[in-house]
Amino acid sequence: MDIVIENLTKRYGVQKAVDNISLRVATGEILGFLGPNGAGKTTTMKIITNFITADEGEVYIGGRSLRDDPLEIKRHIGYLPENNPLYQEMPVIDYLEFCALINNIEKHRVAGRVAEMIRITGLNSEKHKKIAELSKGYRQRVGLAQAMIHDPEILILDEPTSGLDPNQIAEIRKLIRELGREKTVILSTHILPEVEATCDRIFIINKGRLVADGTAESLRKKAQGSDILRVRIEDGDIDQIFKALQSLKAVSMVDFADRQKNRFDVHCRSEEVKRDIFRLCVERNWVLTEITPFETRLEDIFRELTMN
């Protein structure tokens, strides 16, 4: 099932929490929803899951408008809300049973589904404990289990890995990747490596507005303009090396990255530059000890787009 969002707007008083956002997520795509705190990520997710209604705009899920048949559409959505609210006083297994039943799973399949979810999320040793007694990481797993129990075609996960340790994060990411092959997944986070590790596409919003939409690579290209190489050349006078590098035809600009260690950032015009640098070093008898393509980090893109 795909998700199509058209010109979505939601106001709280005079403030627009979501401002005219349009978005399309194809089946089998994992979309990373990025933005600083208060950007409108959670509000958008609440609208998609039909917890709140938008003031303007439409959400179509599998081609059907959310306004027309919310009950039927909700059956196809699994949702992990922000802060993962759970019935603390219930034992894990009872809670999952309740979630299965309320999602209209037939009675004879409930036990099987609950067992399956407990296996997938690794809750076996904790299944008889009350949710209030679990650690945060295990609670997060219960939250994921309840979102997936009815095998929904769409998963909306609001900060799915918050509160997990690095091993659990790796596990959950792997799980999301696997699920994402056949399901449509939207996940929000402000952990940037997470987006790179799990998502096919990135969607950045700020103050309720869309600021970027694309793959991690395409966003990088757009942000950085030209390729940058980090080069270290030893056994030569630093100023001479600087001048020599700048005189190369394929080089547009050279910066000192680290004067002590003879490191330079070389902004290049074409692919030829690596060969040119190598030849230059051979000619002058300098030693080339490092040459790395320098990628703009997602953090920098994020900061650039969301800081005014």
Partner 1 sequence: MKTIWIIAKREVNSYFDSLTAVIMIVLFLGFSGFFTWISGSDIFFLGQASLRSFFGIAYWTLFFFIPALTMKTFAEENKSGTIEMLLTKPVTDRQVILGKYFATLILIAIALALTLPYVITVSKIGNLDAGGTFCGYLALLLISAAYASIGLFTSSITSNQIVAFLSALFIGLFFHIIFQIIAGGMKGFLGQIVNYLSITFHFESLARGVLDSKDVIYFASIIFMGLFLTEVSLSKRNAFN
| Residues that bind partner 1 in the complex, under the rule CB under 8 A | 46, 49-52, 71-72, 74-75, 77, 79, 81-83, 85-90, 94, 98-99, 101-104, 146
What CA–CA distance (Å, rounded) separates 149 from 100? 6
Closest approach of Cβ 113 to partner 1, in Å?
15
CA atoms within 13 A on the CB side of 64: 12
Between 106 and 239, CB nearer to partner 1: 106
Between 75 and 261, CB nearer to partner 1: 75
What CA–CA distance (Å, rounded) separates 202 from 32? 5
Closest approach of Cβ 115 to partner 1, in Å?
20
Closest approach of Cβ 144 to partner 1, in Å?
12
Between 83 and 247, CB nearer to partner 1: 83
Closest approach of Cβ 221 to partner 1, in Å?
37
Between 19 and 158, CB nearer to partner 1: 158
Closest approach of Cβ 158 to partner 1, in Å?
10
Closest approach of Cβ 264 to partner 1, in Å?
52
Between 69 and 237, CB nearer to partner 1: 69
Between 153 and 281, CB nearer to partner 1: 153
197 φ, ψ to 5°? -75, -30
